[in-house]
């Protein structure tokens, strides 16, 4: 079983922010593969479904934790304990300031790299889960990071944001089959984005 968790904040004022990109990605996934009705479970809004792969359908659970971003691990820990899944079957979708806007990287394990939501998951289930990192760019200085991620995407960003979320959903059978490198490549094929220094645009503006 896969647990696909989107990082985000639950209040309406956060819906359009960069920090809620993970919520948007997993919602797109659930809609694309016709997951079941959303209901409250594991301190989250959850939907269950099946993902087709060459080896058969893979059961999956979508979580949008309602604990707020920095406490995501509380929800993830509950779900992992309930289903008795290995941490490697958890995939966290979240905004990544150290990737240029629209870029995508799938990483297994590692540290939190300053992301408090990821740190929270590590505290609950250890570091050996998968991270679907969705680039939102860097504001140029660490003092501006919080304002950047808690600000809404600009209107000009909406096309690539939607394309990236759709690509994450369309390519999902590869992820479910354990083909992580192919999944990453397919997401970037479906939603190509220029490879830039994430701080470059901020320095130039």
Report pLDDT for 71. Answer: 97
202 pLDDT tier (thresholds 50, 70, 90): low
Q: Is a pLDDT exceeding 90 seen at residue 105?
A: yes
* In this structure, CATH architecture of domain 2-204: 3-Layer(aba) Sandwich (3.40)
Residue 2 token pair: 């896969």
Residue 12 predicted with pLDDT over 80:
yes
Q: Report yes or no: 8 and 23 within 8 Å, Cβ to Cβ.
A: yes
Burial class (CB in 10 A: 0-12, 13-18, 19+), 146: exposed
| 128 catalytic per annotation | no
**% the chain with pLDDT above 70:** 97
Query: In which band, very low, low, confident or very high, does the pLDDT at 200 lie, cut at 50, 70 and 90?
Result: low
The whole-model pTM stands at: 0.95
Q: Quote the pLDDT of residue 112.
A: 92
When pLDDT is cut at 50, 70 and 90, the band that residue 141 belongs to is confident
Q: What sign for the dihedral angle of Cα 161, 163, 165, 168?
A: negative
* pLDDT above 90: residue 140: no
Looking at residue 201, its pLDDT comes to 56
> At residue 160, does pLDDT exceed 70?
yes
Place of tokens 């087709």: 52
Question: What does the pLDDT look like over 118-138, one tens digit per residue?
Answer: 999 999 999 999 999 999 998
Task: Note the helical H segments in 33-152.
Answer: 72-83, 116-125, 145-149
Q: Write down the mean pLDDT value for the chain.
A: 94
Residue from 19, 128, 138, 154 carrying the catalytic annotation: 19
pLDDT tens for 14-66 read 999 999 999 999 999 999 999 999 999 999 999 999 999 999 999 999 999 99
């Amino acid at each position: 079983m896969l647990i696909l968790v989107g990082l985000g904040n639950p209040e309406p004022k956060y819906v359009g922010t960069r920090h809620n990109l993970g919520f948007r990605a997993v919602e797109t996934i659930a809609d694309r593969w016709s997951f079941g009705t959303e209901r409250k479970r594991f301190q989250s809004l959850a939907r269950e479904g099946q993902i087709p792969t060459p080896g058969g359908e893979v059961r999956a659970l979508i979580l949008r934790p309602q604990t707020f971003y920095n406490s995501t691990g509380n929800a993830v820990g509950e779900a992992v304990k309930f289903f008795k899944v290995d941490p490697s079957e958890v995939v966290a979708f979240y905004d990544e300031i150290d990737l240029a806007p629209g870029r995508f990287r799938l990483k297994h394990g590692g540290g939190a790299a300053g992301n408090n939501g990821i740190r929270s998951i590590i505290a609950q289930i250890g570091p050996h889960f998968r991270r679907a990192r969705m680039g939102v760019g860097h504001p140029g200085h660490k003092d501006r990071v919080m304002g950047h991620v808690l600000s809404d995407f600009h209107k000009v960003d909406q096309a690539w944001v939607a394309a990236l979320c759709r690509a994450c959903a369309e390519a999902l059978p590869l992820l479910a089959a354990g083909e992580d490198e192919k999944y990453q490549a397919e997401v970037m094929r479906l939603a190509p984005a220029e490879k830039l220094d994430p701080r470059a645009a901020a320095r130039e503006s």
